[in-house]
Amino acid sequence: MVTTDQRSGERGEDRALAFLQRAGLTLVQRNYRVAGGPGRPAGEVDLILRSGDGTLVFVEVRQRRNARHGGAAASVGPAKQRRLVLAARHFLLRLPAPPPCRFDVVAIDGERLQWLQAAFMAE
């Protein structure tokens, strides 16, 4: 059964995807997941897109009702970043030659959408 929070998250991802496609990015894959193991957390990338220059863009979409408590962007902390990088590295193993990559965040606070390009680097 799909929860209200899951539906809200899907709507946020839909909104982010439409915004990024209007900006010229092309969808490669949505909700790429990597299973975790004992003592190792799983990873997920909400959206993987390709920019016009060939850069592979791994996007985390975060949505909050409002900007209290730091807002959506502030919720992408170090642990979340590590899980995103884990999933991205796993995805890149499938490619014969990895292209340039970056990690973006689309933060949605209420009705406000903010696209943070190169929001963090892979460690």
Residue that wins the pLDDT comparison between 43 and 48: 48
User: CB neighbours (10 Å) of residue 110?
Assistant: 12
Q: What does the pLDDT read at residue 67?
A: 60
Q: What does the pLDDT read at residue 90?
A: 94
Q: How confident is the model at residue 38 (pLDDT cuts 50, 70, 90)?
A: confident
Distance CA 78, CA 82 (A): 6
Q: Tell me the DSSP string of 55-92.
A: -EEEEEEEEESSSGGGHHHHT--HHHHHHHHHHHHHHH
Cβ density class 59-71: b for 16+ within 10 Å, e for less:
bbbbbbeeeeeeb
Span 107-123, mean pLDDT?
92
Give the tokens for residue 91: 């995805």
71 within 8 A of 78, measured Cβ to Cβ = no
Span 98-109, mean pLDDT?
95
- In order of start, what are the domains of the chain with their CATH numbers? 4-120 (3.40.1350.10)
Q: What does the pLDDT read at residue 5?
A: 57
User: CB neighbours (10 Å) of residue 113?
Assistant: 17
pLDDT for residue 52 is more than 90: yes
- Altogether, the residues listed in the chain come to a count of 123
Helix (H, G, I), strand (E, B) or coil at 18: helix
Write the pLDDT tens digit of every residue in 84-99.
999 999 999 999 998 9
